[in-house]
């Protein structure tokens, strides 16, 4: 008889977490989704509730959790500036206390644990593109620090548990990811532009639009996370996961207007503090160690995301 591997996904009702839960179920895992719905939503995983191998637990990981699983994907944390700056102390707590709680659980039950880290650990980079060896250029007292430094501290904790307790760890540094189930009002550039274009509102660009980002579609990113979790134990990361194609923010705005057939205009506003000018992953390591590279082109991913947002806006 085939025994299903039990996997816990914290932040499993969030944008990326829900895609990961779905994929793990498709791959034959028994999935425990843990979320406190701070930014996650039951709507994201409602279609999974009838699956006998899917379990939902409402819990805040800044408090200990006692469960038995084989693997833990730690994705719990608000990831957009609007949400993580809304309660910065709680953002730091979920990264530090939450990581300690999940690492303690993994140590006790001898589970393998993956941390969803972020490209934000590189801050406003002075090296381009960013390889994993780059230590970053981060302001530790700015409005984004709760997230940037919180995630950096989480990485520290993961590697200290690895060295001190021989824990099986994996650390993924996730670059800009987009796709269906993004929050309508999360303030991220893809969701902002699509929502504005579909509602005939002006598309707001902060700065002059020459700053660049790289956009990875959710399905590609989830594939990278699963490959990292399944990689040999000596592959700890950190490993960059993202799409190296670089786009100017202005180019993205024009693409969204074209794909939504919108008559929206583009307006410019001042750039927020510590907003990085360039963000592009060097994914050489992911290619070499995981055999991973993103496949979905921006236009294809945007079309799927636009279709999702049309549905959400119709339901409002």
Which pLDDT belongs to residue 82? 85
CA atoms in the 13 A half-sphere facing the CB of 11: 23
**pLDDT score of 89 more than 90:** yes
List, for residues 173-220, the tens digit of each pLDDT value. 999 999 999 998 888 899 999 999 999 999 999 999 999 889 999 999
Using CA atoms, how far apart are residues 138 and 115, in angstroms rounded to an integer?
Answer: 20
Residue 92 domain-assigned (yes or no): yes
138-167 confidence digits (pLDDT tens): 999 999 999 999 999 999 999 999 999 999
- Three-class DSSP category at 117: strand
Q: Could you tell me if residue 207 is inside a domain?
A: yes
Count of structural domains, the chain: 1
Q: Rounded to whole angstroms, what are the CA distances from 281 to 118, 182, 192, 195, 294?
A: 11, 21, 22, 26, 12
Cβ proximity of 292 and 286 under 8 Å: yes
Residue 316 lies inside a defined structural domain of this protein: no
| Residue-wise DSSP of 257-313 | HHHHT----EEEEPPPTT--S---B--HHHHHHH-------HHHHHHHHHHHHHHHH
**Residue 237 within any structural domain of the chain:** yes
Q: The domain containing residue 92 runs over which residues?
A: 6-310
> How many angstroms separate the first and last alpha carbons of the chain?
47
Q: What is the CATH number of the domain that holds 139?
A: 3.40.50.720
Q: Is the pLDDT of residue 1 over 70?
A: no
Residue 315 lies in a domain: no
Nearest CA to 204 among 275, 265, 263, 259? 265
Active site residues: 147
> In this structure, is residue 1 part of a structural domain?
no
> Mean pLDDT across the stretch 226-230?
98
For residue 213, being part of any structural domain is answered with yes
As a whole number, mean pLDDT of residues 62-82 equals: 95
Residue 178 lies in a domain: yes
- What percentage of the chain carries pLDDT values higher than 90? 88
């Amino acid at each position: 008889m085939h025994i299903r591997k039990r996997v816990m996904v914290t932040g499993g009702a969030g944008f990326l977490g829900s895609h990961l839960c779905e994929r793990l179920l498709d791959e034959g895992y028994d999935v425990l989704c843990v979320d406190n719905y701070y930014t996650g939503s039951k709507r994201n995983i409602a279609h999974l509730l009838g699956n006998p191998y899917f379990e939902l637990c409402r819990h805040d990981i800044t408090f200990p959790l006692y469960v038995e699983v084989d693997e833990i994907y730690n994705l719990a944390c608000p990831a957009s500036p609007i949400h993580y700056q809304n309660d910065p102390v709680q953002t730091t707590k979920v990264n530090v206390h939450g990581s300690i709680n999940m690492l303690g659980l993994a140590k006790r039950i001898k589970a393998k644990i993956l941390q969803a880290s972020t490209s934000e650990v590189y801050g406003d980079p002075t090296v381009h593109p960013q390889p994993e060896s780059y230590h970053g250029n981060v302001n530790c007292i700015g409005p984004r620090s709760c997230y940037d430094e919180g995630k950096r501290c989480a990485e520290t904790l993961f590697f200290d548990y690895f060295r001190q307790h021989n824990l099986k760890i994996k650390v993924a540094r996730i670059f800009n990811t987009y796709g269906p189930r993004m929050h309508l009002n999360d303030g991220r550039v893809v969701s902002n532009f699509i929502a504005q274009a579909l509602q005939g509102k002006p598309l707001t660009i902060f700065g002059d639009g020459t700053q660049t980002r790289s956009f990875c579609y959710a399905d590609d990113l989830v594939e990278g996370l699963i490959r990292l979790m399944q990689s040999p134990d000596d592959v700890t990361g950190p490993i960059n996961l993202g799409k190296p194609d670089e786009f100017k923010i202005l180019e993205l705005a024009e693409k969204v207007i074209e794909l939504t057939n919108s008559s929206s205009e583009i307006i410019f506003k001042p750039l927020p503090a510590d907003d990085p000018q360039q963000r592009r992953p060097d994914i050489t390591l992911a290619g070499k160690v995981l055999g991973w590279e993103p496949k979905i082109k921006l236009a294809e991913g945007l079309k799927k995301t636009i279709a999702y947002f049309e549905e959400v806006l119709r339901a409002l």
